[in-house]
Copies of this chain bind each other. A is one copy, B any other.
């Protein structure tokens, strides 16, 4: 007989134990000193596990935090997810508890929170994206890393809610297109070449973006990482947004520019994602 859980509530394990509380002196809470990943679960399996765990390891290394092993994470999720379930998994790794002040403890004892929330909903498709007035700051030090300093995304999601939009495109403070409030962007030019905003200054390098870039590379059609001024989106004829929970979604427009060929691009992306799941 399967265990029963209250639906929609996340099931949590913290440092290898079933818990819902963490020590109040955690540095993730105090300073956002940690990282996280969010992943789709289908049929009881984490989708694209290898890409996800590779990004997790990359981000832990970027903050010099000792991350959990893939085998340990597999065990943890094995305790949380029933055979055949679908939902959303999340891993948070913080530098652990610390004393007063910004200086990290040495050695640190990292804290790992794994969570699973049953159920998933499909995103709006296609996405029509206005551009958020909330901009992303340029900070090359942590660019690409999915760390816990996410006030900009919180603000952008508030803006989306107040404008009754499912998502918004975001630029950095210098007008370059970076991402949406929760998704990476890939745009196709009229020659069929795929481009994605460089994440050298800000933004989160998602695992789904990495999967698309990997598949495109394998197909001999590498995605070009490039600076794209928001005012230049008219140079592209198709665009998709992607994240790990909802995959690739066609974009019907960014600001006032409409993309004609996004559904075909989204189908190609979905095929590549299916091949790397």
Contact = CB atoms under 8 A, between A and B. Distances in A.
A12 B137 CA distance: 34
A194 to B, nearest CB: 26
B113 A24 contact: yes
Interface of A: 10, 12, 14, 19-33, 36, 38, 63-64, 88, 90, 92, 94, 100-104, 113, 115, 117, 134-135, 137-142, 147-158, 160-161, 173, 181-182, 202
Given A21-B24, A22-B22, A138-B173, 11 more contacts: A19-B24, A29-B92, A31-B151, A32-B150, A32-B151, A33-B151, A100-B117, A102-B154, A103-B161, A135-B141, A148-B151
A173 B23 contact: no
Contacts of A26: 29
A105 to B, nearest CB: 11
B150 A31 contact: yes
7 contacts: A30-B36, A30-B92, A31-B153, A103-B157, A135-B139, A141-B152, A141-B155
Given A142-B151, A148-B32, A173-B139, A102 B157 contact: yes
Contact of A21 (B23, B28, B64, B158): B23
